[in-house]
Each structure stands twice: as structure tokens, then as C-alpha cells.
């Protein structure tokens, strides 16, 4: 605290990221990073770009990366143009821009009560009014809770992750479309940080719904959390709006190396597919082993499991595992998820180490 702070800074409630410990050899299953490294082609491109050209500013439009993203999704049959893509310094920055630019409205923003905790932080930062919509008894998003019969509940926008975080539960695309059909007067943002681990992207809907914006990140399924690249895909008019905000904040959110590396990550589809497959098969393995030990996990379409043990508190398990060098995420609140642990799917060896540590503990 300092007398030089404004009252506004004094009252901010910042996001608390998962720990990035300096100790090596920890089994780190706490921040949903990918267990394998990025595509070797990504590393190659970064090495090749580390030269005197770094004296120049990067392309402020990141065209090469936007084109690679448009080509990737067009190749999947979704007909996305480069002008429908926005990129930023991690999807957190993309989210920050769209909260600031699109969600400050007369009616409150709606999002789930249990969800990515950064949404509330942005509402504080940009002074956006919001209402938390409780997840249902199965800790799932029920689109009906955002509607009032055929009509939407009054709102200045709707946002949720799909799959949701930290639950990992997936909402089928048909339910997202049901929401879009009813809710035509405000922006709907689907945060697809984890979509590649088991869901169908709502990018397939952006050409039919001009109020739909889909955000994604290269931090999880493309194993580039350290490079900071996120994106949004939507109607050109929404992307124009995001560009106006970006160019009023920082014209060069992505550096030269990130632009080239991000493009390479979208081009190497084989590496990407293999990485996702490994995570999915290890998720199934971990799920089975946890169930055999009495854990109850929500069905996950993400690269993590959200789980609890009826006979052990979440905090005692998290503490016991930490003492054995394994870290995971225990949020501890709200009440409904107080005993849940969020466990990132690791490598084969890490997942085995986790199960062995649990066997010692239980």
C-alpha cells in the first residue's frame, strides 16, 4: 500500500494465478499447462527469427498468424477470413479488451457463479455490473438459466468457458446455438481455452451469429503458455471493435517471434493432434485410477479433472500431496466446491507419481 496509489487501485481485487514454483523436480499439475513441449517446428521458427531483425517493430496486425488461424479453421470447413480473427498477448488480454469494449452496458453481464475467476476481476477493473448465474446441481451450465422462457434474461452480455473451468464440463454446441437463437441483442462470448481436448468449436457458428465471439488460447492445447498468444474469432464488425481497443492500448501486443511461432503451431497439425490424444488418453487413465480410490470426478472435456474424495478434505489432500512434491489447484471456495481439487493431466510418469503419492496418503 502507498499514499501514491489512487483510491481505485486501492480497491482492486486482482486475479491470483496458480503458483509457478522456482523449485525444480516438482510434479506440477496446478496450472493446466500441456505436459509435452510445443511442436519442434515452433522452436525452429523461434531460433531462425532470433537475429538482427529484432531491431524492427513487429507487424502490428500479426497478419501471418491471423492467416494461419483462418487457414486452419477454413481447412476444418468453417470458412473463416483473416479479417474475422483477432490476436492478443494471451487470451487474457483478448478477454480484457472485450470486457472493456463490449460489456459495459446498462444491463449486467451474466456468467456462471463457478467459472474462470478472471471474469470478476475484469468487471472490477472496468467497473462492469455483473450477475453470477448458479451452475445447476450437477455443477453444469444450464442454458435455461440464462433465459426467461423463449426470451433472454435482461443482460448486457453473456460469457462462459466451454468446457467450463474449473469444472471441465462441456456444453453441447446445440445448447450454445439455443442460447444464440434466443439472445440476439447482446454479445455472447464462448471462452474455448480447453475446447481442443474434447469439444466442437463454436467457431462453426460465427458466420451465422454476428453477436458471437469465440476466444481461444495457444497456452493449453498448443503448449505455448510461455509465449503468450490468444485469439478471438467472430464477425468482422466485432473484430474491428477489438482492433480499435488494441490500437488505443498497445499496437504491438505480439512480438515477431510469437507471431511466427504461433503460425507454425497452427500449421503443425500432426504434433497438435498427437498432443491432444495423449492428454485425452491420460485423462481417461487418471480418471479410472482416481475412481478406484474413491474419488468422484466430474466428466471432463478439458486437460484437467475436477474431483473430490468423500472421506478426505480438499485442503488435507492438497497439503499431503505438496509434501510429496506434487502440486495441484485447490480453490477452497465457494462452499459447493470447497473439497474439490483441480488436477492437470500430466505426462504418463507424472500421473503415475500422483497415483503413487495418493496411495501413500490415503
Q: Which residues contact 75 (CB under 8 A, 6 or more apart)?
A: none
Q: Which of 33, 92, 268, 339 binds ligand PLP (CB under 6 A)?
A: 92
* Closer Cβ to ligand PLP, 84 or 217, answer by number: 217
Which helix (H) or strand (E) is 287 found in, with range?
helix 269-292
- The three three-digit cell numbers of residue 277, written as one number: 490424444
**CA–CA gap between residue 99 and residue 250 (Å, rounded):** 16
Question: For ligand PLP, what does the binding mask look like between residues 141 and 180, x meaning CB under 6 A?
Answer: --------------------x---x---------------
Q: How far is the CB of 164 from ligand PLP (least distance, A)?
A: 8
- The three three-digit cell numbers of residue 184, written as one number: 440476439
* Span of 10-18, 86-94, 311-319, 323-331 interacting with ligand PLP by CB under 6 A: 86-94
Size of the site for ligand PLP (CB under 6 A): 12
* Closer Cβ to ligand PLP, 94 or 357, answer by number: 94
Q: Which of 162, 183, 201, 217 binds ligand PLP (CB under 6 A)?
A: 217
3 state DSSP class of 121: helix
* Closer Cβ to ligand PLP, 265 or 353, answer by number: 265
Contact present, 162 and 176 (Cβ < 8 Å):
yes
Q: How far is the CB of 243 from ligand PLP (least distance, A)?
A: 18
**CA–CA gap between residue 306 and residue 314 (Å, rounded):** 11
3 state DSSP class of 238: helix
Q: How far is the CB of 300 from ligand PLP (least distance, A)?
A: 13
Q: How far is the CB of 329 from ligand PLP (least distance, A)?
A: 11
* Closer Cβ to ligand PLP, 193 or 345, answer by number: 193
* Span of 41-49, 85-93, 122-130, 258-266 interacting with ligand PLP by CB under 6 A: 85-93
3 state DSSP class of 54: helix
- Cis upstream peptide for 334 (omega within 30°): yes
Q: Is 30 in the site for ligand PLP (CB under 6 A)?
A: no
Q: Which residues contact 252 (CB under 8 A, 6 or more apart)?
A: 57, 58, 60
Q: Is 191 in the site for ligand PLP (CB under 6 A)?
A: yes
Q: Is 225 in the site for ligand PLP (CB under 6 A)?
A: yes
* Closer Cβ to ligand PLP, 96 or 280, answer by number: 96
Q: How far is the CB of 91 from ligand PLP (least distance, A)?
A: 4
Q: Which neighbouring-strand residues pair with 159? A: 189
- In this structure, what is the dihedral angle of CA atoms 200, 206, 211, 214, given to the nearest 10 degrees? 50
Contact present, 282 and 346 (Cβ < 8 Å):
yes
* Span of 17-25, 217-225, 251-259, 347-355 interacting with ligand PLP by CB under 6 A: 217-225
* Span of 15-23, 90-98, 122-130, 261-269 interacting with ligand PLP by CB under 6 A: 90-98
Q: Is 230 in the site for ligand PLP (CB under 6 A)?
A: yes
The angle that helices 256-267 and 63-75 make with each other, rounded to 10 degrees, is 10
Phi, psi of 179 (to 5 degrees): -65, -45
* Closer Cβ to ligand PLP, 242 or 353, answer by number: 242
Q: Which of 72, 116, 122, 304 binds ligand PLP (CB under 6 A)?
A: 116
Q: Which residues contact 174 (CB under 8 A, 6 or more apart)?
A: none
- The three three-digit cell numbers of residue 20, written as one number: 509457478
**CA–CA gap between residue 6 and residue 331 (Å, rounded):** 30
**CA–CA gap between residue 160 and residue 171 (Å, rounded):** 10
* Closer Cβ to ligand PLP, 179 or 357, answer by number: 179
Per-residue DSSP letter, 202: G
* Span of 89-97, 100-108, 310-318, 335-343 interacting with ligand PLP by CB under 6 A: 89-97
Note the residues at the interface with ligand PLP (CB under 6 A): 90-92, 116, 161, 165, 191, 193, 217, 219, 225, 230
Amino acid at each position: 500500500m502507498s499514499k501514491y496509489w489512487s483510491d481505485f487501485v486501492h480497491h482492486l481485487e486482482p486475479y491470483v494465478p496458480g503458483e509457478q514454483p522456482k523449485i525444480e523436480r516438482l510434479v506440477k499439475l496446478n496450472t493446466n499447462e500441456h505436459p509435452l513441449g510445443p511442436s519442434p517446428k515452433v522452436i525452429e521458427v523461434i531460433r531462425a527469427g532470433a537475429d538482427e531483425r529484432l531491431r524492427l517493430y513487429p507487424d502490428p496486425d500479426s497478419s501471418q498468424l491471423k492467416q494461419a488461424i483462418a487457414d486452419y479453421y477454413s481447412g476444418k470447413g468453417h470458412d473463416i477470413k483473416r479479417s474475422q480473427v483477432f490476436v492478443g498477448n494471451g487470451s487474457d488480454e483478448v478477454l480484457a479488451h472485450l470486457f472493456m469494449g463490449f460489456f459495459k452496458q446498462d444491463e449486467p453481464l451474466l456468467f456462471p457463479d463457478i467459472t474462470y475467476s478472471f471474469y470478476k476481476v475484469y468487471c472490477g477493473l472496468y467497473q462492469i455490473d455483473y450477475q453470477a448465474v448458479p451452475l445447476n446441481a450437477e455443477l453444469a451450465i444450464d442454458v435455461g438459466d440464462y433465459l426467461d422462457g423463449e426470451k433472454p434474461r435482461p443482460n448486457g452480455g453473456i460469457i462462459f468457458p466451454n468446457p467450463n473451468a474449473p469444472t471441465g464440463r462441456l456444453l453441447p454446441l446445440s445448447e450454445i446455438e439455443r442460447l444464440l437463437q434466443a439472445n440476439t441483442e447482446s454479445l455472447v462470448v464462448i471462452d474455448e481455452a480447453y475446447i481442443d481436448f474434447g469439444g466442437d468449436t463454436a467457431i462453426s457458428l460465427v458466420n451465422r451469429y454476428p453477436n458471437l465471439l469465440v476466444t481461444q488460447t495457444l497456452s493449453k492445447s498448443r503448449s505455448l503458455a510461455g509465449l503468450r498468444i490468444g485469439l478471438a474469432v467472430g464477425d468482422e464488425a466485432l473484430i474491428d471493435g477489438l482492433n480499435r481497443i488494441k490500437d488505443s492500448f498497445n499496437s504491438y501486443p505480439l512480438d515477431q517471434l510469437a507471431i511466427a511461432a504461433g503460425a507454425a503451431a497452427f500449421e503443425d497439425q500432426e504434433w497438435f493432434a498427437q498432443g491432444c490424444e495423449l492428454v485425452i488418453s491420460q485423462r481417461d487413465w487418471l480418471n479410472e485410477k482416481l475412481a478406484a480410490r474413491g474419488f468422484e470426478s466430474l466428466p471432463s472435456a478439458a486437460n484437467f479433472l475436477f474431483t473430490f474424495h468423500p472421506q478426505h478434505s480438499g485442503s488435507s489432500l492438497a497439503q499431503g500431496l505438496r509434501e510429496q512434491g506434487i502440486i495441484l489447484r485447490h480453490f477452497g471456495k465457494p462452499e459447493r466446491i470447497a473439497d474439490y481439487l483441480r488436477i492437470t493431466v500430466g505426462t504418463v510418469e507424472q500421473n503415475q507419481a500422483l497415483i503413487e503419492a495418493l496411495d501413500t496418503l490415503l
